[in-house]
Chain A
Amino acid sequence: MPGKVWVVFRKDLLIELRTKDSLNAMLFFGIVVLVVFNFALESVRDTIREAVPGVLWIAFVFSGTLGLNRMFAAEKENSCLQGLLMVPMDRGIIYLGKMLAATVFMLIAEVVIFVFSLVFFNLTVWAEIPYLVLVFVIGTLGFTTVGTLLSAIAANTRMREVLLPLILFPVVLPILVNAVEATRIILNTANYGALKLPLTILSTFTIIFGTLSYLLFDFVLED
């Protein structure tokens, strides 16, 4: 099975790397969000450091949603999905492959966005990096586990891309709350012990929704 997952994963990865359409859009949008927030929060410029974790994750979530939107759009256009479904394999494998690809792209975008935020908000981070990596990875995984499933649902509706944020954002609120809090703990305090709870919730979310989405994906794809 890992081999099959790898095939699906590699396909999505290669297709995207060839054009980089999605990735470019994700990067651009993420950075634009950072800039927009800078303007929006101008009146609280002195305390803007407090807002950085929230702004960061909003940029991540918006950017990630953009990437998720594209995930099934291309497949529907080229009927590639039909082809994929004809291969005799567990539908859950398609889910895993796409979810992993989406995670990779989102993480790439997050790294770039984060670097920009270091510049924009005048932050210096060195010791914090390993912890940040941990939070980013688990948070992003949590986001894409349920995001991949919901993206497949949205692709089946009349509204397509417009529906995804509407159904995704409420569901991933726990990710937002805990990831922002964990990032805040890392950036604005040095109390790494307090990371245990948010990270636990994030991991639990990821495991629960990873399993659930894997099981439910089959139903959504029947065409």
Chain B
Amino acid sequence: MGTVNTMNYLFAAYTAIWIILAVYLFSIRAREKKLREELDNLRQLIERQPANRR
């Protein structure tokens, strides 16, 4: 088990961790953005209809 060989796997493992973490974080961020837009849209729609508020 040479040192070079081991380092490759070590690198691969930590890269994998970063990728998984990054993908998840970005997915949350993307969903947050989409929701913020949707919420803004909805709030505007509601403001245009003052008479029928619950």
Q: Do chains A and B touch in the complex (CB under 8 A)?
A: no
Interface residues of A, Cβ cutoff 8 Å to B: none
